[in-house]
Amino acid sequence: MPILYRMAVKKDNLDLLRKINEAIDKLKSSGELEKIKSKWTQHPSHPFEMTGLVKYFFYTLILFLIAILVLFLWTRLLKREVKKKSANLRQTVQEAEEANEAKSRYIVMAAHELRSPLETIQVSSRALAKIEEQGQISSDISELIKTIDISSDQLSETLNGILDHSRIEAGKTLVEETKVDLKLLTNNIFEVNRNEAIEKGLLYNFSYDITLPDFIVIDSRKLKQIVQNLIRNAIQSTPSGKSVWLRIKRVEQTFIVEVADEGVGMEEVYKTRILDDSEQNLADITNQRDNPGLGLIIVKEYVKLLGGIIHLKSQPGKGTRFKVQLQLNEAGSHHNVNFVEN
């Protein structure tokens, strides 16, 4: 079918019309017009042909989607694994807590069971001591009675330490703040241990800061345990002829219980362990210093309960110095007892 090529121009522009027609005729005669028509009217065999840049973005998008899918699947798998391990960990922790509670209950029960026969031994020992005073017992038997008395007292302290430590572990320890005569309390503890220190041949010293108030507010029982355990440690680690000091002094709004000795002292590693929270480390220290029980553990825990700080200086062969720094709360004339739960 022949194709007509037409071009419209204004009527008065005949020269332009003539030139256009001549150009068209030349294109027709040379075959160029057919080539132009073929190029304009042909359809590509492929509807869309990707360039290099389009291909790059397309493949990048595919890889990105694959990576997201892999990450999603891996995250779900990881969450499932974490959930499973968390459940196992919770079960393990629960079993450990139950075992620890069972251990604590057993220790407390055993300690209470031992208390009754121990009290019988102590009563019997005191009765024999009264007979000894009447001169009805030989010197050999008298020494045995004294040994029984000392050993039973040490065992009683050990049982009390075990019970105290069990209560601390269970979080059932109460801080009972009462009006306390600090000088009387510390002097009584000093006097209780005087005979043991003298029998061992120690120079036993006590000093008290007169600037301290007559009465303070503190848990008297826990303060007694702190002072008693530190003095016992000092006495037991100090050889004959050496000194042990108990000093009570004021530093601004705090008071310090200082117990120093010229005993065996301790290495740096043991000082670090004493200030550590690990009970096993404290147990190692007590063994090194021949401590009869849980003294240092109880001191550390009670000082923490009372909001205090422990300072320690020691040198092998030259002795040890413990300083317990506690808040100084002066008692009023109408102070009431206050219970604070741990």
* pLDDT at 210 > cutoff 90: yes
* pLDDT at 286 > cutoff 60: no
Which residue in this structure is represented by tokens 């290099």?
Answer: 52
Task: Locate the DSSP E strands across the chain.
Answer: 174-181, 203-208, 215-218, 243-251, 254-261, 309-315, 319-327, 338-341
- pLDDT of 89-126, one tens digit each? 888 888 887 777 777 777 777 777 777 787 888 787 77
Distance CA 155, CA 217 (A): 31
Q: Kindly report the average pLDDT of the chain as a whole number.
A: 79
Distance CA 213, CA 181 (A): 9
* pTM of the predicted model as reported, rounded to 2 decimal places: 0.58
What pLDDT is recorded for position 20? 75
